Chains A and B, each alone.
Chain A
Amino acid sequence: EVQLVESGGGLVQPGGSLRLSCAASGFTVSSNYMSWVRQAPGKGLEWVSVIYSGGSTYYADSVKGRFTISRHNSKNTLYLQMNSLRAEDTAVYYCARVGYYDSSGAFDIWGQGTMVTVSS
């Protein structure tokens, strides 16, 4: 079965760090474009970052310089390292696969999400 399972969310103080993981099964992470998308409580979806199959990475302006997307090929896992966290980073974080072909822009597989709360 093709699926994504996120983990690593939790409560962290402002200025702190957290690393999210997204374990994939049924397909190969490194062969696909993979993204992180977040959703603040009661708000809409916000694209956060993408890693291309070739390894290039891109970020939303709101997280550039603070977040790092990466993957571990042998573990078939996607990561999001989040540093210098702010209250406005509080959200459910989803990992998602870009399906059909690399630049389709279509997220066909989503994880269940992991909640990150930034608060003192």
Chain B
Amino acid sequence: QSALTQPASVSGSPGQSITISCTGTSSDVGSYNLVSWYQQHPGKAPKLMIYEGSKRPSGVSNRFSGSKSGNTASLTISGLQAEDEADYYCCSYAGSSTMFGGGTQLTVL
């Protein structure tokens, strides 16, 4: 049960777009179209932003989008805003277990 691989940090200026990658294996990300993404602000519980790789829950801005290619999933945030500054985690269903990425700290410059 190894964690999925994410970059430790990314940054961008307001209005720009950024992409966070999440690399797994053929046993998790590559086998299931069940990658989800979570946003977490300091001291708060995580919030679901994307599920099933590319679907947005009701209420989540369409500036957030997800995709997958092979064993790598990606989260793209367009039109960066100050409130997007947070930690982001990917997550993959893997049969009877679930695994998270190590997290990516997004800084809005």
A residues touching B (Cβ–Cβ < 8 Å)?
A: 35, 37, 44-47, 50, 58, 60-62, 94, 99-100, 103-108, 110-113
Contact = CB atoms under 8 A, between A and B. Distances in A.
A113 B43 CA distance: 10
B45 A44 contact: no
A105 B48 contact: no
Nearest to A101: B52
A47 B48 contact: no
Given A105-B34, A107-B36, A107-B91, A58 B96 contact: yes
Given A44-B102, A47-B97, A47-B100, A103 B34 contact: yes
Given A44-B3, A45-B38, A45-B89, A105 B98 contact: yes
Nearest to A92: B45
Interface string B81-97: 00000010101110011
A66 B96 CA distance: 18
Contacts of A94: 45-46
Interface residues of B, number: 28
Contact of A105 (B3, B36, B47, B101): B36
A106 B100 contact: no
Given A61-B1, A94-B46, A100-B51, A105 B93 contact: yes
Contacts of B98: 35, 47, 50, 105
Nearest to B92: A105
Contacts of A106: 34, 36, 48, 51-52
A47 B45 contact: no
